[in-house]
Amino acid sequence: MTRVPGWGTGGTLTAMKKALVAQILELPVAERMQLVEVIWDSISAAPESLPLTQWQRDELDRRLAEYEADPSSGSSLEEVFARVRSSL
């Protein structure tokens, strides 16, 4: 197995997979973005394969409790999108 530099800890790939990654990196940016979307969709289809850490659970619980204590403190999805669009 070959370690791929810059892939974080434990990032090992077989030689065949390393060659595939090299081919992917030669694709135009638009095609790589499409590939990222396909990969992300496959990951999000199996959320149980990426369990939350205890810190993440605690933070979500804290945020939910804060929202439940004062629902007006939150923003609707439309408001968030509007803020993002106005900043572009």
Each domain of the chain, given as residue ranges in start order, spans: 2-49, 54-86
Number of residues that make up the chain? 88
Q: Does residue 1 have a pLDDT over 50?
A: no
The band of 2, judged by pLDDT with boundaries at 50, 70 and 90, is very low
Mean pLDDT across the chain: 87
* 37-78: pLDDT as tens digits: 999 999 889 888 888 999 999 999 999 999 999 988 888 899
Q: How far apart are CA 40 and CA 42, in angstroms?
A: 5
What φ, ψ does residue 73 adopt, rounded to 5°?
A: -75, -15
